[in-house]
Chains A and B, each alone.
Chain A
């Protein structure tokens, strides 16, 4: 396929080569960094409440062809996606992660994949980035707190990684363990969740083509507050099931103890599938508030399995979803 060069492309290209001709490379690279930093700090001064996404590396993905992977709904504004987060390791306020997660070092980064697998292995983040082709998927994201957004994620099906380590016949569950570092994560002192944050899926859920090992959003690598450098996204479950900043993936025979289920078993079940018919003990799950609609936007009805029933309802055939909420 021939790529059409726009005027802008040409200009940018010429500008760069001109710059390279007259100035030694380390010098212009440094200047650029300086300019970028100046721009970022100026923007930070002018717009203190807006989350910044200026300096993140690009991470493009091919538009996914997996059924259900591209919702037709318009994505939520990027600054809302990266400025309104639950990441308790950095604090319980929605603005804490964007403010504080910058301190977390995401390089070097390794992920240990272990447990009931034929080939346990520690992956470097760069190996994981190359393990399978990156896809862009536009998923609905529904928080258990009854707000929602639509996010263009970049990643590939978790099944690619699991196949690489070859789960044994006895493997029934997969747990996902988040990075823990008291030096950079002030929230570890506060809440009474058990750290490290641990989430889990049944093996068939983990192998489902919609379960995404996620490295980026909006065509760039994940910002730290969204779970850099890699996280899970399980679009038909409440958001807390999708662990962030993963360091260990463990395959087991028994159902893992998961963070919120352990903290409040009557409020958060192991499955935590989005289900408008099963209310949270303290609020209804029948409707949700899409973020970014402004003060006068009304709530919208929540869909069974967050709208992914066609793809995932079969996983739960015959199960009483009131009992296994």
Chain B
């Protein structure tokens, strides 16, 4: 990863020491909760469905969180925030993997033939699978050594795949809910992700950056 460097005149603000570990603990809590409920039989009458859906929900929530890092970093003029991005990204991958495993094991009885048939019968499963494959690529290219070998420019291009993951994830969610005509949450998470992608358009990105510098300058002036 690139080291956070401040522009001249900007104070360098590191992350508080407990910031990253606390974030990791918070991201682990839902997993721990679901595991506990699964062991205690607290997942309700249809535990497979609860487990699969909750893991999917947490995947999309963490995806929103990881995509929030860059806009927040710019708007707060706080480059050090980038240090939590990889960790959050790996949590997205972890939840997506558990979501997929829960589906494969508990819904399809760990039968790969059944999974294969299901992928072709239900396009929303195929879309979810595609998103997971992209996440796998991102996870595999996340260690520092791989980043170095790829070179920053190529690494960045590969990791733009996360935008496709967001789009596929929302489509997967939308299609899943289409049967119930129940799109409230789809709009919520889809809208948030769309807004976060929009903030990456060069024009919006520049505005965010300008806002960040303005805040820093104002803070300096007040001092």
Give A residues with C-beta under 8 Å from B: 49, 76-77, 80, 83-84, 92, 94-95, 145, 147, 190-193, 263-264, 267, 279-280, 282-284, 289, 291-292, 294-296, 298-299
Contact = CB atoms under 8 A, between A and B. Distances in A.
Given A49-B42, A282-B122, A295-B106, A191 B181 contact: yes
A92 B118 contact: no
Contacts of A299: 107, 109
9 contacts: A76-B45, A94-B46, A190-B182, A190-B184, A193-B181, A282-B122, A282-B124, A291-B46, A295-B41
B179 interface: yes
Interface in B109-161: 109, 117-118, 121-124
A94 B180 CA distance: 12
Nearest to B124: A282
A95 B49 CA distance: 13
Contact of B45 (A92, A284, A292): A292
Contacts of B46: 84, 94, 147, 289, 291
**Size category of the binding interface on chain B:** 20 to 34
B36 interface: no
Given A267-B179, A295-B38, A295-B48, A279 B43 contact: no
Contact of B43 (A193, A284, A295): A295
Interface in B161-207: 175, 178-182, 184
A92 B45 CA distance: 16
A291 B109 contact: no
Contact of B179 (A76, A147, A282, A296): A282
Contacts of B118: 283-284
Contacts of A296: 106
B47 A49 contact: no
A80 B45 contact: yes
Interface of B: 38, 41-49, 51, 106-107, 109, 117-118, 121-124, 175, 178-182, 184
A84 B181 contact: no
A193 B124 CA distance: 22
Given A84-B44, A280-B179, A283-B122, 7 more contacts: A147-B49, A191-B182, A267-B179, A279-B121, A282-B122, A282-B175, A295-B48
B127 to A, nearest CB: 12
A76 to B, nearest CB: 8
A147 B124 CA distance: 19
Contacts of A191: 180-182
Contact of B44 (A49, A190, A279): A49
Contacts of A190: 182, 184
A298 B107 CA distance: 8
Contacts of B182: 92, 190-191
A291 B124 contact: no
- Of residues B41, B46, B184, which shows the largest number of chain A Cβ atoms within 10 Å of its Cβ? B46
A79 to B, nearest CB: 8
A298 B45 CA distance: 14
A96 B48 CA distance: 19
Contacts of A83: 44-45
A91 to B, nearest CB: 9
A80 B49 CA distance: 14
A122 B138 CA distance: 66
Given A190-B184, A191-B180, A289 B48 contact: yes
A125 to B, nearest CB: 29
A202 B15 CA distance: 69
A294 B181 contact: no
A147 B118 CA distance: 17
A197 B124 CA distance: 28
Contacts of A80: 45
Given A84-B46, A295-B48, A298-B109, A192 B181 contact: yes
Contacts of B107: 299
B178 A282 contact: yes
A282 B177 CA distance: 11
A282 to B, nearest CB: 5
Contacts of B121: 279, 283-284
A145 B107 CA distance: 13
Contacts of B122: 282-283
Given A282-B122, A295-B43, A299-B109, A263 B48 contact: no
